[in-house]
């Protein structure tokens, strides 16, 4: 793996990369659906398993770069 990151995108735009295995949807395809480029998560849903998993991963990545 060359690198890691986060790319919120429409499935149509990333389907080929997913099929080739160069991109992984590690949280699956369920998420907050919003028209436009910004996505958010209500505080009331912040402790659900998928958002919590993403947050834990992101903070661990950031801590490892310090």
* pLDDT number for residue 27: 66
pLDDT tens track, the chain, 66 positions: 456 666 677 778 888 988 998 887 776 666 555 555 445 677 788 888 888 888 888 888 878 876
* pLDDT number for residue 64: 81
- Smallest CA-to-CA distance from 40 within 56, 51, 28 is with 51
Distance from C-alpha of 46 to C-alpha of 50, rounded to nearest angstrom = 9
* pLDDT number for residue 38: 47
What contacts 24+ positions apart, CB below 8 Å, involve 51-54? 53/27, 54/6, 54/27
């Amino acid at each position: 793996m060359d690198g890691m990151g986060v790319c919120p995108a429409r499935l149509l735009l990333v389907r080929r990369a997913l099929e080739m295995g160069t991109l992984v949807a590690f949280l699956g395809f369920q998420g907050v659906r919003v028209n436009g480029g910004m996505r958010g998560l209500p505080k009331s849903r912040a402790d659900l398993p998928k958002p919590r998993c993403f947050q834990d991963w992101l903070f661990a990545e950031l801590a490892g770069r310090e």
